Structure 1
Amino acid sequence: MQLISDNVLIDTGQVDPIHAAAYPLISGFKLGDPASWTGGHPWAFYRQLRNDAPVHWSPGYRGISGFWSVTRYEDIKTVELNPQIFSSQRGSINLGIQAREKWKPKKLIPAALNSLINMDAPMHMEARIQQKDFFIPAYVAKIRDKVSTHIDGLLDEMERKGPEVDFVKMFAEQVPLFTLCEMLGVDPADRPRIVKWMHYLEMASQYLANPWQTILKEPLFPFRFFKMVDAMFAYGEEVMADRRARPREDLLTAIARSRLGGEELPQEHLDGAWLLIIFAGNDTSRNSLTGTIQLLHEFRDQRQMVLDDPKLIPRMAEEALRLVSPVKHMRRTALEETELNGQRIAKDEKVVMWYGAANRDPEVFPDPDRFDMMRDNYDKHLAFGHGVHKCLGSRIAQMQLRLSFEKIFERFPHIAPVGPVVYAPNALVNAMSSLKVNLYGVGGQRPKLVSASR
């Protein structure tokens, strides 16, 4: 089977576009530099791009080629709905692909490239269909009770440790990892290793952006990282071989027994498939949960509406996804000469869709910076993408978000941030790595039990 990584487009370091830019070049924020993203989405910069340069040539970073940034809602839908022109496979979803001699760790880059999210037709739909049974409404309903019980346990632990706790560490990153391990069928004894591996992979992006800061935080990180990655891939090979020999009713089995073009998946595709589930599902839900806590504190009228009528939680969750935009971008690559909103784009040039900018496009969402769960098009956001590559796990993410806030509002209706959110340097996802909250509101204390007199 031909690997995606064998034919992926390697960046040349292209500085200027082939065709002259139709819109002015705007500076002020380095979209391609992970270190730029430690303050979250650059809303003012997005606004400037939408208004003045909706298809904007953005410079590359550290040898990575420049790319076209797309920020208007309708333009992004145009790209998403034309996969025959704008490829996911030719250059992957990454902002750039370095020369092969720089692919380290050796197995990690091919695993990131050989996955569902980087496939074009017909391979993409064939792979997607073979995993769909774990993302349909019937399966979401089946797993919901397990997630609910786990959430209760997390909230119990938060209450024991409170009143002030790190919401990300104690809740937002725990819920999706539990859910995904249940879906995949990861044995309980193996789950602590999954948590550790995900931590090291997240730290890797921080290390690339600011190595000295990472070393100060975790001095042994550079020495342990490659060992952790080797252990992770050894586990993947072992578990995939086990599922092929002894199938279970889980997503790991569905992946292990998948076929493309009549052939079993090679190990590079197997590695990419299960790691994608962990990465994509964890980041989207973790950052949506954390961002919603922030929004409810900022827009207290909306929180009160939900407290008064919990049936509004699904609307609240969708509007929060629009405003948080947990996935910052996806990238496509032009397979042919084309044009987008008056801008000529050459074959093999990169087109990057900035979802946060589109989700606050005033042409689609009036008063776009306001949290308004009662807006008519509250569910028309692009937080999960659009078209054939719309996130396969969107129903799982929505279930976790809705169920979490049903439970949180029951227990801690006044929960509030008491410190700033800490963002990891990451240009792909809105990576919220820490947020201290008080479970009982700003300055709140644990309620005291009062014994009833007889």
Structure 2
Amino acid sequence: MENAPETNADQNPEEFYRSPTTTPEADPWALPLEDIDLATGAIFQAQKHHEYFKRLRQENPVHYHDKNPEIGPYWSLTRYEDIMAVDTDFERFSSEPSIALFDELLGEERAPMFIAMDPPRHDEQRGAVLPAVGPVRLKDLDQLIRKRTVEVLDELPTGTPFNWVEKVSIELTTRMLATLFDFPFEERRKLTFWSEIITTPPILMGLTIEDRLNHLGECLQTFTALFKERQFEGNESQDFISLLANNPATADLEGVELLGNLMLLIVGGNDTTRNSMSAGVLFMHENPAEFQKIKDDQSLIPSAVAEIIRYQTPLSYMRRTAKEDVEIRGKQIKKGDKIAMWYASGNRDESFFPDADKFIIDRPNVRRHMAFGFGIHRCMGNRVAEAQLRIVWEEILKRFERLEVVAEPERVEHSFVHGIKALQVIAHPKGNKP
């Protein structure tokens, strides 16, 4: 990163930066505003981030922090209205060079991906893969999603604890990713592993920087072979790889640019669905009256799915870079400044969502949540994610009286991906109410 101070993480790849001030133990309401560093995974892991966001929405909704040596100075937008304005203004706020506050997702060489591009390149590359998740394709996928959901749920143990994340969320997500990429089904777990390699500091996975680069090298080699094979065959299938390989706008992708686009699709397909699928079980356990609502009226399931996504917000933020000097709420943002649009905060903005910290499945305006973004960069797989979650809850209600969470969830230490690593659950089948 240009002009960034050297850090411990630069000197020793086995370490990464943790804020000395913004910690789970600190009082979010007493910490000096200038010491608040929202890009701190520990506060998300400890579920303390919402209090920081609430304070900033009230006291300093356009917040500047310049003490994080790993990512450099950055602005934080915490109110729904401001996030919406920036997210839909690609003329003044660029997605290049990165969607995250840290500049590099794939190692030393920056990996171009269409979500981190501006028009017209963005439109060309995004348009190439849209058919894979478009309305026609989704109609075809619906039956397959249900078949796989039935298979996975019917294999679950009852009356004994199991990890819902491993047995359901990851399994269903990887099966869908394998379909969307037409990836070898028996190797599907590689897709979620590569997704974690991209978004997780190596030390948190028990890996070195060299390990990470080796895994990414394997990923690139695998996808390059599939890309060339489908290009040679002139494959007209509607999977992501075939669409990229045979569209004039993307047929010449290679190296890190190919990898960047494919990893974007993997991360997008993995994190939103997987973490919402896990979080929904937790939220329904914590809010039995809301669970009763969908038991009594299954037409509320689509609304419940949207509320799960709002309440969890699987990707906490997206970054933009100012293309010119601009003023927001009296704050002077300079050309080139990093801006974090905190979807996790916008989705809890009380001025837009009344009782925003409550889980309410029939919330009237829930479909206006920010978790999928807005404008030209709105998540293109949102309908597939919603379909997967809807079908999971439809099939849960056919089989189980309730899903009991029996231990505190294990969460990831990350400010970008708001995820759950493990969720111990006991499934109580219908007819066996304790």
The C-alpha deviation readout for 1:308-351, integer Å capped at 9, x for no partner, is 11111001111111111111000000010001122110010011
Equivalent residue of 2:300, what SS? helix
User: How much does 1:195 deviate?
Assistant: 4.5
The amino acid of 2:315's aligned partner reads V
SS of 1:426 mapped into structure 2: coil
**Residue in structure 2 matched with residue 348 of structure 1 by the alignment:** 336
Indicate which of 299, 307, 311 corresponds to 2:299: 311
The 1-side partners of 2:141 and 2:152 are apart by: 17
1:44-443 residue pairs with structure 2 within 5 A? Answer: 44-89=51-96, 91-97=97-103, 105=107, 110=110, 113-159=111-157, 163-198=160-195, 200-201=197-198, 204-205=200-201, 207=203, 214-215=205-206, 224-246=211-233, 247-249=235-237, 250-260=239-249, 264-440=252-428
On the 8 A contact 1:180/1:281 being kept in 2, the answer is yes
Q: Residue 324 and residue 11 in structure 1: after superposition, are their counterparts in 2 closer, same or farther (change >3 A)?
A: farther
Secondary structure of 1:77's match? helix
Indicate how the Cα distance of structure 1 residues 349 and 105 shifts in structure 2: closer, same or farther if over 3 A, else same: closer
1:434 is aligned with what amino acid?
A: A
Q: 1:104 to 1:183 in 2, by over 3 A?
A: closer
**Deviation at residue 188 of structure 1 after TM alignment:** 2.0
Secondary structure of the residue aligned to 1:438 is strand
Q: Residue 426 of structure 1: CA displacement?
A: 1.4
Q: 1:59 to 1:413 in 2, by over 3 A?
A: farther
2:10 matched to 1:12? Answer: no
Give the corresponding residue for 1:33. 40
**Deviation sequence 1:157-212 (CA, Å, 0-9, x none):** 2227x52110111111121211121011112243244354445556x4251xx5xx
**Does the residue aligned with 2:57 lie in a helix, a strand or coil?**
helix
Distance apart, 1:433 and its partner CA: 0.8
* Letter of the structure 1 residue corresponding to residue 269 of structure 2: G
- Unpaired segments of 5 or more residues in structure 2? 7-30
**What is the DSSP-based 3-state SS (H/G/I as helix, E as strand, rest coil) of the residue aligned with 1:379?**
helix
Equivalent pair of 1:33/1:61 in contact (CA under 8 Å): no
Amino acid paired to 1:135: V
2:157 partner SS: helix
Kept in 1, the 8 Å contact 2:202–2:209? The answer is no
- Could you say if the C-alpha distance between residues 390 and 233 of structure 1 is closer, same or farther in structure 2, counting changes exceeding 3 Å? same
In structure 1, distance between residues paired with 2:185 and 2:133: 21
Q: Is the 2:165–2:422 contact (alpha carbons within 8 Å) kept by the matching residues of 1?
A: yes
C-alpha separation in 2, matches of 1:303 and 1:234: 45
Corresponding residue for residue 18 of structure 1: none
Contact 2:408 2:423 in 1 (8 A): yes
Please give the alpha-carbon distance, in whole angstroms, between the structure 1 residues aligned to 2:144 and 2:309: 23
Separation of aligned partners in 1, 2:349 and 2:293: 25
Please name the residue that 1:21 is paired with.
none
The separation in 1 between residues aligned to 2:246 and 2:231, in whole angstroms, is 6
Cα root mean square deviation, aligned = 2.6
Does the 8 A contact of 2:161 with 2:426 survive in 1?
A: yes
| 2:310–2:370 CA contact under 8 A, matched in 1 | yes
Q: TM-score, normalised by structure 1?
A: 0.83
Counterpart contact for 1:29–1:36, Cα < 8 Å: no
In the superposition, the TM-score normalised over structure 2's length comes to 0.87
Q: 2: distance between equivalents of 1:258 and 1:344? A: 42
Give SS of 1:433's match: strand
Q: Distance in 1 between matches of 2:3 and 2:155?
A: 47
Partner Cα separation in structure 1 for residue 287 and residue 329 of structure 2: 35
Q: CA deviation at 1:77?
A: 0.6
Cα deviation code 1:279-303 (max 9, x no counterpart): 1110011111111111111221111
Tell me: CA distance 1:337–1:96, structure 2 relative to 1, closer, same or farther (3 Å).
Answer: same
Structure 1: gaps (5+ residues): 1-8, 15-23, 449-454
Is residue 115–residue 273 contact of structure 1 (8 Å, CA) maintained in 2?
yes
How many residues align? The count is 408
For residues 361-402 of structure 1, the C-alpha deviation after alignment (integer angstroms, 9 at most, x for no partner) is 111111111122223212111010111111011101101111
The residue type equivalent to 1:154 in the other structure is V
Contact 1:11 1:64 in 2 (8 A): no
